[in-house]
Amino acid sequence: MFNRLRFPAKHHQLRVPSSHCPKHTSRLYHTTTPTPIAVAKNTRPDHAVRDEEVTQTAVEGERELILKVMRTIPTQRELRHFLKRYIPPKEVVDSLLRPSHRHIALTKVQGPFVPAQLASVASTLVQLCRLGLTSVVVLENEEWACVQPNDPAEEEALRLSMLRESLAITEAIEKVGGRARPVTSDVFWEPEGGGWNEIKSASEGEQDTPTLRASLDLVQSALRSEQIPIILPIASFPGSIKRPVPANNAMVALCRSLAQPNHVIPASSAILDSTLLPVKLVVINKEGGIPNHEKPGTAHSLINLVEEHDGIVHAYRSTPQWHNSHPTALQNLEMVRYCLALLPTTSSAIVVPCASLPHALISNLITDKPLYSSSLPTNRGGTPHLITTINTSHATVLRHGMSIAYHPSMDSVERPAMTALLEASFGRRLDANAFYERLERRLVCAIVAGGYEGAVIVTGEPAVGEVEAETEVGKYYYLDKFAIAPTSQGIGLTDILWKRMTDAYPDIMWRSRADNGVNKW
């Protein structure tokens, strides 16, 4: 994190203590291109030719995947974080494409898609799997919602349509060198007397927690065979009745079962620590992420659900055109909120349109943050910077997040907790007595995330030459400290705190080295 940041002084020089600035983070560019497999010229059986074509497709896919990973331009810290979490310490390129440790992404594929879109979705799922993120897929199709649940004939036709779609995406995955297995039944069930509480948007009123349950036997079987399970949202009801259910309910039921510590798969499996706990929730659709009322025509880049959920719901209610352009946005928002509440704070979700595949998902996997910073200014000097600062990919990253507290004086600041945060973040001892003595006189506000997982300290400084009493707060807002605990890095706190700070203090100043990446803010 940074300690002192630069702001180009125009008329005044701030009277602030000097300190070391962070080192510039360099970027790593390195690729290794696999050697294509030579094709023999002698005559072979048809099955051998087909196997060779699949192998050649896989090799070409691996070459392209390496390039796509490098195009995400991760910083050294982001790349180290990805390699530490997903890739064991061995040859980087080899392990990048054939990781021995895997994580789970609970994924909803929300159609309908044309064949080219379905091929893009399938290719992306295979590429993520090669990078160590195995998808557990639940299918959804907007056309399925039109079927009346009490009409047996239409239910049977719907089940056949769902089966055809599961076979289509399975075939598309295998065509690009992946492995998949349709799971068409015996996953979801409704307990006796449970009822059916469908997940709806918050604008339709408070909803009870869905009672649908999920069995993981078939999911585990597919994962043991290194296959991507393609699950249909069909549930068994009391009386041996099988009926399609909303995919969002199925996602919550699966997440609840996957999050239970007693659900494991054998140690021989490649799943990290033999656990099925999802590290990501993914929604792939056509409409994109959650629309942003602050920047019309775009989507939220990052949502802190604890703090922003109610405001987003209110904005959606107040914008009727979104009901047509983003008809499932709030349903997805509610489903993600249910699921993330069941998972560790390190887990995240992303809602992404198929038009942004595969770059949006690969970039999020590597960097573990949005494609576009939600805290970047949308204009500088009155000139819009739409391409570089607005979420044109329409992808939204969501985190359960944490509450944000504002402390206008030192009276409410927990000094031991603040000291522990600053020392952990900057990696050195704090001269606490001198530091807090100064803040007693100069503090404007301390913005604290959660239980001191992150903090921003803003002071008021006088300009050189101005005569002000030492006990008075100066009129120039200055960013004195910005710290994120090492254990909370990579969960979106930087963007959340920065946005809160600039909303409250839009004319803040800071200082840093000229080549520090933070200066683009």
Q: Please tell me whether residues 372 and 486 are part of one structural domain.
A: no
Which residues on neighbouring strands pair with residue 236, listed in sequence order? 189, 242
> Is 384 among the domain residues?
yes
3-state secondary structure of 485: coil
Q: Please tell me whether residues 188 and 327 are part of one structural domain.
A: yes
Q: Please tell me whether residues 248 and 316 are part of one structural domain.
A: yes
Confidence (pLDDT) at 77: 60
Would the pLDDT of 6 be above 50?
no
Q: Please tell me whether residues 356 and 490 are part of one structural domain.
A: no
Q: Give the CA distances from residue 70 to residues 28, 127, 367, in Å, rounded to whole numbers and listed in that order.
A: 8, 14, 11
Q: Are 309 and 357 in contact (CB under 8 A)?
A: no
Task: Determine how many CB atoms are found less than 10 A away from the CB of residue 67.
Answer: 10
Would the pLDDT of 18 be above 80?
no
d(CA 340, CA 252): 10
> Is 22 among the domain residues?
no
| Residues 251-291 pLDDT 10s | 999 999 998 755 444 444 444 334 688 999 999 999 999 99
Q: Please tell me whether residues 361 and 495 are part of one structural domain.
A: no
pTM over 0.85: no
d(CA 162, CA 231): 10
Indicate the helix (H) or strand (E) that contains 424: helix 415-426
Last residue of a domain, one of 399, 425, 451: 399
Taken in order 186, 190, 196, 197, the sign of the CA dihedral is: negative
Q: Please tell me whether residues 285 and 412 are part of one structural domain.
A: no
Confidence (pLDDT) at 41: 45
Confidence (pLDDT) at 381: 47
Q: Please tell me whether residues 386 and 473 are part of one structural domain.
A: no
Last residue of a domain, one of 399, 428, 461: 399
Domain count, the chain: 2
Q: Are 45 and 496 in contact (CB under 8 A)?
A: no
What single letter denotes the amino acid at residue 20? H
As a whole number, mean pLDDT of residues 361-365 equals 90
Domain interval for residue 492: 404-510
Q: Check which CATH number belongs to the domain holding 345 and give it.
A: 3.40.1160.10
d(CA 276, CA 39): 40
> Is 181 among the domain residues?
yes
Last residue of a domain, one of 375, 399, 423: 399
Instruction: Read off the tokens for 354.
Output: 């198929």
Of residues 390 and 9, the one with the higher pLDDT is 390
The DSSP bridge pattern shows strands 241-244 and 234-237 to be antiparallel
